[in-house]
Structure 1
Amino acid sequence: MPSYRARFDATVTFTNGGGLQADGFLVDVPSADVTSAEVGELFLDSLGLLMAGEVRLDNLEIVEAAHKGTRGGPSAEGRSDGKPSYVELSHVIRDGMLTLPGLPGPELGKQLTREASREIYAPGTTFEIGLITMVTNTGTYMDSPYHRYADGHDLTGFSLERTADLPAVVVRLEDSGRLGIDTAALATYDVRGKAVLLHTGDDARFGTPEYVENPHFLTRDGAEWLIANGAVLVGIDAANIDDMTDGTRPAHSLLLGADIAIVEHLTNLAEVPPTGATFTATAPRVAGLGTFPVRAYARTS
């Protein structure tokens, strides 16, 4: 179902004197036919304003856009039939696909063909056994501490409690006008105990050389803020969680040093509500590997 936001200019007078003006303010709204009075209430709730008197809205426009989690705004609604709803967040792995320039694409083949299996099994019974050769940084994948640190644990070190059914918060950044995701972009979110999913919109370029041109990334202070505020997993739909021009890789170094799982190259985050969903990304229990593709998905109801 489509979601909507209201854009408007606002003038507020306070009962104890003074006033406030806002230009081009945006809030999430429950539907396209929301009233001006309802938008005004959402505006006040979003800022936590007390002792507000008259609220006047000008240039009110309702636009179809993904919700960004306005405080006091509409919550994510589940399916009317009561059945769980899921959103796929992983890229499909295909033969020869491009994840990042410079990394070889996967090669898919067959260890046992159906034709050859006819010589092994009873008449009418055939099997196929596939074969894949790939670098572990293929498609949508998870990083464990061993990816960065020789003494860090590998993929087997993450319990299911650390990577499955995590409450999720989606940080909308695709129209922020900035590539670096810093503390200012994160500070309004409650991330404690949550999977923090950074929605940049860069996944629209996945599989092309342009994917690595001016990608979004998490800054050092953004990573420090997420650690200090208790995030348990961080995902992003961009080419790298780090600024790829910075060889020190501060986001990887800090998050993995704090034993926080990283999931890179997510997709479809626009389909996940800002709050209320759960996130799962689990990798095979392969000993001695620091990264591996995952099946990542959100449950929205």
Structure 2
Amino acid sequence: MTDHRASFDARITFGNGGDLAVHGFRVDLPGPDAAEDEIAALFVASLGLLMTDGVELDNVEIFAEPHKGTRGGPSDRAAQAAPAAGGALVELARPPADGGTYLVAPGGDLTGLPLARTAELPAVVVRVAGAEAREIGVGALAAFDVRGRAVLLHTGAPGGGRLTPEAASWLAGRGASLVGTDADGLDGLDGVGGSAALDVLLAAGVPVVERLAGLDRLPPTGAVFTAAPPLQEGVGRVPVRAFARVPEA
């Protein structure tokens, strides 16, 4: 099968200020019909860029060429290190006096939620606290391998950043096991956009944990996350005690 790559110019803006421009950059593609948003995500992943707010591509050319091993690309076969079994436990739940921490189950029924989707998940922490933008888009996520992981959004505020529906689809499509946030909800407090991101994730079978605490105490990768709910038939949102085990230094 023929390999394909893309060449392009790009300008990236970051949520915490600043920008980056490149010319003639190349990434591996899964096929000749890759869309520009997929190329942009591969570009961000290849450089491991964090807090990316937006990516603009120009002069995109797709051509046949052997893959060079783009990070996060189709030929990237790097083994993911398993999180260490030992380490300290970190409390991530808010106390009841502060409103608690909640898990929302797909289908509105906790009995249909496998433990594998909520317990002992390798975690990635996406830090967007202090970002100027109010939205969390694909650019903020693209640097992370999210398959089989708990993706924890560290927004730093109850209102937090609003996860866009496109970003929710990206997470679901790449196999995230769970999405959590320290905000009161994925869609912010102002109700802008309704509950689109939450609906996208639940429809894809991805549980969501809201109102987390202590995400600043977790490393970007390497922690193991748990927020297992009780088995309650016909109940879709319950308080949980979320926690993580962090690797020893």
TM-score normalised per structure 2? 0.63
Which residue does the alignment assign to 2:6?
Answer: none
Instruction: Pick from 280, 283, 286 the counterpart of residue 226 of structure 2.
Output: 280
Instruction: Pick from 143, 153, 156 the counterpart of residue 104 of structure 2.
Output: 143
CA apart distance, 1:246: 3.4
* C-alpha separation in 1, matches of 2:221 and 2:175: 16
Quick check: 1:188 aligned with 2:149? no
Contact 2:153/2:180, CA 8 A, preserved across alignment: yes
Q: How does 1:1-301 map to 2 (within 5 A)?
A: 47=47, 84-94=87-97, 97=98, 99=99, 139-145=100-106, 152-202=107-157, 211-212=158-159, 215-243=160-188, 244-246=190-192, 248-301=194-247
CA apart distance, 1:193: 0.8
Q: What is the CA deviation profile of residues 161-186 of structure 1, one whole-angstrom value per residue up to 9, with x for unaligned ones? A: 11100010000110221121000111
Secondary structure, aligned partner of 1:282: coil
Cα distance change, pair 199–162 in 1 and its aligned pair in 2 (3 A): same
Contact 2:187/2:194, CA 8 A, preserved across alignment: no
Contact 2:187/2:198, CA 8 A, preserved across alignment: yes
Secondary structure, aligned partner of 2:169: helix
Secondary structure, aligned partner of 1:87: strand
* C-alpha separation in 2, matches of 1:254 and 1:241: 11
Cα root mean square deviation, aligned = 2.6
**Unmatched tracts of structure 2, length 5 or more:** 1-16, 20-45, 49-71, 73-80
Q: Percent of aligned pairs with the same residue?
A: 47
Contact 1:217/1:238, CA 8 A, preserved across alignment: no
Cα distance change, pair 83–246 in 1 and its aligned pair in 2 (3 A): closer
The aligned amino acid for 1:182 is G
* C-alpha separation in 2, matches of 1:168 and 1:83: 15
The aligned amino acid for 1:264 is E
CA apart distance, 1:258: 0.4
TM-score normalised per structure 1? 0.53
Contact 1:90/1:294, CA 8 A, preserved across alignment: yes
Number of residue pairs the alignment of both structures matches? 172
The aligned amino acid for 1:298 is A
Contact 2:180/2:210, CA 8 A, preserved across alignment: yes
Secondary structure, aligned partner of 1:292: strand
**Unmatched tracts of structure 1, length 5 or more:** 1-22, 26-45, 49-70, 100-138, 146-151, 203-210
The aligned amino acid for 1:227 is A
Q: What is the CA deviation profile of residues 249-291 of structure 1, one whole-angstrom value per residue up to 9, with x for unaligned ones? A: 1111100000100000001001010001110001111111110
* C-alpha separation in 1, matches of 2:123 and 2:232: 26
Secondary structure, aligned partner of 1:295: coil
Contact 1:164/1:282, CA 8 A, preserved across alignment: yes
CA apart distance, 1:153: 4.8
* C-alpha separation in 1, matches of 2:18 and 2:244: 31
CA apart distance, 1:24: 7.7
* C-alpha separation in 1, matches of 2:234 and 2:47: 48
* C-alpha separation in 1, matches of 2:147 and 2:139: 17
Q: What is the CA deviation profile of residues 15-54 of structure 1, one whole-angstrom value per residue up to 9, with x for unaligned ones? A: xxxxxxxx989xxxxxxxxxxxxxxxxxxxx948xxxxxx
